[in-house]
Amino acid sequence: MHEKDCIFCKIVAGELPSAKVYEDDHVLAFMDIGQVTKGHTLIIPKTHTKNIYETPPEVAQEVFARVPRIANAIKEAFQPAGLNVLSNTEAVAGQTVFHLHVHLIPRYGKNDGFHATFEQHDNIASEHLGELAEKISSKIQ
Ligand code: 5GP
Ligand code: ZN
């Protein structure tokens, strides 16, 4: 299923070029044009889904199952010190292309160009964590 105006569907269809890393019947991995760090790669399903929220488990399974192999290939190729795996979901989280993709961002050090900051909060009462967990678990379908 391809969406008419989706650039990643066009890449899958070969209507736009990409630097391919890996391809099979279900997924495509290619170099991110923005190269946050050297070797920055995207893995996408060939079928169009908007993001994690709208991805059926069988499509998620195909995409995420390929992550370790491709991550290890990046590791072999460039010897990064580590790697971030990321899937920005909705605009507020930085999603700009609305076809599911998983970023593999190799990490070379603290000042390698990748910035992810989040504030941790200490001493959250365990009852409060329990309440939060219950709110989520009651919604799992
Ligand atoms: P997002 O911001 O949605 O998490 O990530 C979208 C990513 O797609 C960005 O990192 C951006 O550099 C990359 N991107 C956008 N357009 C193209 C394109 O035409 N070709 C390739 N290879 N990457 C693209
Ligand atoms: Zn698409």
What tens digit of pLDDT does each residue of 53-99 get? 999 999 999 999 999 999 999 999 999 999 999 999 999 999 999 99
Instruction: Give the rounded percent of residues in the chain with a pLDDT score beyond 90.
Output: 87
Residue 139 lies in a domain: no
107: CA distance to ligand 2 center in Å?
28
Domain-embedded: residue 95: yes
Q: How confident is the model at residue 1 (pLDDT cuts 50, 70, 90)?
A: low
Q: How many domains does the chain have?
A: 1
Q: Which two tokens stand for residue 56?
A: 């059926």
Domain assignment of residue 132, yes or no: no
Q: What is the pLDDT of residue 3?
A: 84
State the pLDDT at residue 124: 87
Does the CB atom of residue 86 touch ligand 1 within 6 A?
A: no
Residue 13's CATH number? 3.30.428.10
32, 50, 102, 105: which to mutate for ligand 1, most atoms within 8 A of CB?
A: 32
34 C-alpha to ligand 2 centroid (Å): 18
Domain range for residue 96? 7-114
**Mean pLDDT across 112-131:** 90
The pLDDT value given to residue 2: 78
Q: Could you tell me if residue 17 is inside a domain? A: yes
Q: Note whether residue 130 is domain-resident.
A: no
For residue 4, pLDDT over 90 is answered with no
The answer to whether residues 38 and 24 touch, using CB atoms and an 8 Å cutoff, is no
Cα separation, 19 vs 36, whole angstroms? 16
CB neighbour burial string for 104-121, b if at least 16 within 10 angstroms, e if fewer: bbbbbeeebebeeeeeee
Domain contains 119:
no
Residue 126 clears pLDDT 70, i.e. is over it? yes
- List, in order, residues 6 or more apart from 124 with CB less than 8 Å away: none
Is 121 a member of any domain?
no
Tell me the two tokens of residue 62: 């195909």
The rounded Å distance from CA 18 to ligand 2 centre is 14
Answer whether 107's CB lies under 8 Å from 83's CB. Answer: yes
Percent of the chain with pLDDT over 70: 99
Inside any domain, residue 122? no
